[in-house]
């Protein structure tokens, strides 16, 4: 085979370079349509599982990326030319500037230094912000102490509601779907008294502010007021209690036999109410005492709330306006204010402070059933809903909530602590979460196979008189649970 001379080989290499350069220029200067058509033709020849529409879309995106790189490349070439011309001009004047080549000299050093500074600044900022987030998260999980203290087991069906007495001795009251209401010793977890006067599910329980009286609402379309008398400790019912309650208390063995195998033993039972309130045409879902304890309010599935006089049992007012069934009612601790919630996605504030004027304000902020709305010690109302949100409202500005808490499950009957103003949220998904009034999550109550609720949590109630057991929850696992919640003030400020 003949060997080409050196000049001929060099000429051939130059020709090939010019040809490839010419082809590159033609490809670069070709129209976008031509390039797209060429790339599409190339893609059509490939074995791809992508649909044509998706492939075309990807091709368009890749074309945009290529154009951006081309623009950057052209700008880079122009900058290089300017630097070279400037360097030549300075060289002609007897001066030289290092860095005519971007890869050498002062320009590279300066660019590298500025890039290093920017990179270090970004790293420092990112690290600081991330550390702040992580440290605040660690503080929330480590400083909030939530411990299970006592379980109250004895009901034969789910527990809808619970409350703590306001007068001594402090006991826990529960309202259950098994048609009974029970009073429990907070310390020992033993049942002290059972009320079995209702003919339907007991949906709520509230205690008189100054006397040993309980108010229960039921699915039998009535609300009952009944007196109780308990002593702590109470291992066995004393005889004098039986004599004082006359025929209202029954210690028969039949009641004990009716209880569950795990139920309370030797628990006295009251069967007759002191006062029966009958005016509703549907299930009475909730009831509460007005400040002073001389009147009570009831909420029903008949879309109305009734205001009764306790002494005469007479109906004083009927509160109408809701479009669907009521779900809850609550009274203000110090003022004659009532709030009612409903399945119509609203809750209403009823003002009875002026006897001649009974005003009502409608709160519209939820998109599903408002399961409860409660007052706080200040001028706030907190509402929970099946739309998985909890909203904090200011009574002085009721147009929009001042805080919104978004959760991953429907919210049931909430409660707010008086001292620390912590909101306890019981959920359908068996969780109980704690938030402050600004919507910041403070803690989640522990739940595992050994402790916590196993089914839907229906209600929560605070008891700040007892430091060892200051929060109670109940659910459809037929038990109430007492918790010790310790959240430092510093954590709440965060």
Mean pLDDT of 435-455: 89
Domain assignment present for residue 247? The answer is yes
Asked if 473 and 459 count as a contact pair (C-beta separation under 8 A), the reply is yes
The answer, yes or no, to whether residue 106 has pLDDT greater than 70, is no
Asked if 365 and 401 count as a contact pair (C-beta separation under 8 A), the reply is yes
Mean pLDDT of 448-471: 89
Domain assignment present for residue 36? The answer is no
pLDDT tens for each residue of 395-426: 888 889 999 999 999 999 999 998 889 999 99
Give pLDDT, residue 414.
97
Report strand pairing: 295-300 vs 284-289. antiparallel
Instruction: In whole angstroms, give the CA distance from residue 278 to residue 274.
Output: 13
User: Between residues 90 and 26, which one has the greater pLDDT?
Assistant: 90
Domain assignment present for residue 85? The answer is no
Give pLDDT, residue 113.
52
pLDDT tens for each residue of 60-88: 888 888 888 888 889 888 888 888 888 88
Domain assignment present for residue 40? The answer is no
Asked if 320 and 303 count as a contact pair (C-beta separation under 8 A), the reply is yes
Of all residues in the chain, what percent are helix, strand and coil, respectively (each to 5)?
30, 35, 40
Give pLDDT, residue 122.
52
- Around Cβ 446, how many Cβ atoms within 10 Å? 13
Domain assignment present for residue 123? The answer is no
Least confident of 71-80, 281-290, 352-361: 352-361
User: Between residues 147 and 96, which one has the greater pLDDT?
Assistant: 147
Say what percent of the chain tops pLDDT 70.
Answer: 72
Domain assignment present for residue 95? The answer is no
pLDDT tens for each residue of 322-349: 999 999 999 999 999 999 999 999 999 9
Q: What is the CATH classification number for the domain harbouring 205?
A: 2.130.10.10
Nearest Cα residue to 380 out of 396, 369, 368, 364: 396
The answer, yes or no, to whether residue 261 has pLDDT greater than 70, is no
The answer, yes or no, to whether residue 207 has pLDDT greater than 70, is yes
The answer, yes or no, to whether residue 273 has pLDDT greater than 90, is yes
User: Between residues 151 and 62, which one has the greater pLDDT?
Assistant: 151
Omega prior to 233 cis, within 30 of 0? yes
Least confident of 99-108, 133-142, 166-175: 133-142
CA distances from 186 to 182, 190, 325, 459, 466 (A): 12, 8, 34, 17, 9
The answer, yes or no, to whether residue 239 has pLDDT greater than 50, is no
Q: Provide the pLDDT confidence category of residue 140 given band limits of 50, 70 and 90.
A: very low
The answer, yes or no, to whether residue 297 has pLDDT greater than 60, is yes
Q: Total structural domains in the chain? A: 1
Q: Provide the pLDDT confidence category of residue 22 given band limits of 50, 70 and 90.
A: very low
Of all helices (H) and strands (E), which one includes residue 131? helix 105-143
Q: What is the mean pLDDT of the chain?
A: 80
Mean pLDDT of 472-476: 96
The answer, yes or no, to whether residue 197 has pLDDT greater than 50, is yes
Domain assignment present for residue 42? The answer is no
Give pLDDT, residue 289.
97
The answer, yes or no, to whether residue 236 has pLDDT greater than 90, is no
* Per-residue tokens: 136: 């605040």
Give pLDDT, residue 260.
43
User: Between residues 384 and 125, which one has the greater pLDDT?
Assistant: 384
Domain assignment present for residue 81? The answer is no
Nearest Cα residue to 178 out of 196, 152, 153, 204: 196
Range of the domain at 239: 148-493
Give pLDDT, residue 444.
93
The answer, yes or no, to whether residue 43 has pLDDT greater than 80, is no
């Amino acid at each position: 085979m003949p060997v080409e001379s050196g000049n001929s080989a060099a000429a051939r290499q130059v020709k090939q370079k010019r040809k490839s350069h010419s082809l590159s220029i033609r490809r670069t200067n070709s129209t976008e349509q031509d390039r797209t058509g060429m790339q599409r033709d190339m893609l059509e020849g490939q074995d791809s599982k992508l649909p044509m529409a998706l492939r075309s879309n990807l091709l368009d995106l890749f074309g945009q990326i290529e154009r951006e790189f081309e623009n950057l490349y052209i700008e880079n070439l122009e900058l290089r030319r300017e630097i070279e011309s400037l360097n030549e001009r300075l060289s002609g004047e007897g001066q030289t500037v290092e860095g005519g080549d971007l890869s050498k000299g002062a320009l590279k050093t300066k660019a590298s230094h500025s890039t290093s500074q920017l990179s270090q600044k970004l790293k420092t900022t990112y690290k600081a912000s991330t550390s702040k987030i992580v440290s605040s998260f660690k503080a929330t999980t480590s400083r909030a102490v939530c411990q299970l203290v006592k379980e109250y087991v004895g009901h034969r069906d789910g527990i809808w509601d619970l409350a703590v007495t306001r007068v001594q001795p402090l006991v826990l009251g529960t309202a259950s779907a098994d048609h009974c209401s029970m009073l429990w010793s907070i310390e020992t977890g033993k049942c002290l008294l059972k009320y079995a006067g209702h003919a339907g599910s007991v949906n709520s329980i509230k205690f008189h502010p100054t006397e040993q009286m309980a108010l229960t609402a039921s699915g039998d379309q009535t609300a009952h007021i009944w007196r109780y008398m308990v002593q702590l400790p109470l291992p066995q019912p004393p005889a004098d209690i039986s004599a004082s309650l006359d025929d209202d208390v029954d210690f028969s063995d039949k009641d004990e036999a009716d209880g569950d195998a795990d139920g309370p033993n030797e628990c006295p039972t009251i069967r007759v109410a002191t006062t029966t309130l009958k005016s509703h045409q549907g299930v009475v879902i909730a009831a509460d005492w007005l400040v002073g304890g001389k009147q009570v309010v009831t909420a029903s599935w008949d879309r109305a709330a009734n205001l009764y006089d306790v002494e005469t049992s007479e109906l004083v007012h009927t509160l109408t306006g809701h479009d669907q069934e009521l779900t809850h009612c609550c009274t203000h601790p110090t003022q004659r204010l009532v709030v009612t919630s409903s399945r119509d996605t609203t809750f209403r504030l009823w003002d009875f402070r002026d006897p001649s004027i009974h005003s009502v304000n409608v709160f519209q902020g939820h998109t599903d059933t408002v399961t409860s709305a409660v007052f706080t010690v200040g001028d706030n109302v907190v509402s929970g809903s099946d739309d998985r949100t909890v909203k904090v409202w200011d009574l002085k500005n009721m147009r929009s909530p001042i805080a919104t808490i978004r959760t991953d499950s429907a919210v049931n009957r909430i409660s707010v602590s008086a001292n620390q103003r912590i909101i306890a949220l019981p959920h359908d998904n068996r969780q109980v979460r704690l938030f402050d009034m600004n919507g910041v999550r403070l803690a989640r109550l522990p739940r595992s196979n050994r402790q916590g609720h196993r089914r839907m949590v229906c209600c929560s109630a605070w008891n700040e008189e007892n430091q060892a057991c200051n929060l109670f929850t109940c659910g459809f696992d037929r038990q109430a649970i007492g918790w010790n919640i310790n959240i430092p003030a510093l954590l709440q400020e965060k």
